[in-house]
Amino acid sequence: MSVNVEKRTDPPGESDYATAAWELKEQIRSAEGVLRQRRGFFVDAYRRSTAHLLVENDRLVAFASVRRDGYILFLAVHPDHRGRGHAERLVADIAEDHRSVTCHARTTNRQALGFYEHLGFEVIRRIDDYYEDGGDAYYLKLGGESLRERLSGFVGR
């Protein structure tokens, strides 16, 4: 089995990997109860964003969709591919292109919050009833002056 992971991009207006991204997101939602969105919302947001994709043997293993302002809409890594630095690589790619990187995370999603804290994200504020299902969120921002250097260290650049 190849461990060669290729980076690809779906720029705004393109959706070559939208179906694969939706299926990966839904697989994670079913197993972990996170990443809950309606399909129409997801596809619309995906098409308006830049999607950073990691593909192994023509199979999507991770993706991050980001708006023009550096806000991460979606970040997902296939469960079988976690622990390999894929999410760090995606966030580092986003940080290279944006002065500021922000996102929301459910207050109950300890795994995501731990990951973001590990990278240097800081909680800016809590937002009650942020999600459609009434779930609360933290608004997070990647902090620090040496953002690119720190993320480069995570992915060995």
Per-domain residue ranges of the chain: 5-155
Quick check: 155 pLDDT over 60? no
Q: What is the pLDDT of residue 31?
A: 87
DSSP-derived pairing of the beta strands 72-77 and 121-127:
unpaired
Quick check: 152 pLDDT over 90? no
pLDDT above 90 coverage of the chain, percent: 71
Average pLDDT (53-82) is: 95
Q: According to the CATH classification, is domain 5-155 in 2.120.10.30?
A: no
Confidence class of residue 38 from pLDDT cuts 50, 70 and 90? confident
Q: Answer yes or no: are the C-beta atoms of 144 and 69 closer than 8 Å.
A: no
Quick check: 117 pLDDT over 70? yes
Cβ of 152: how many Cβ atoms within 10 Å?
A: 15
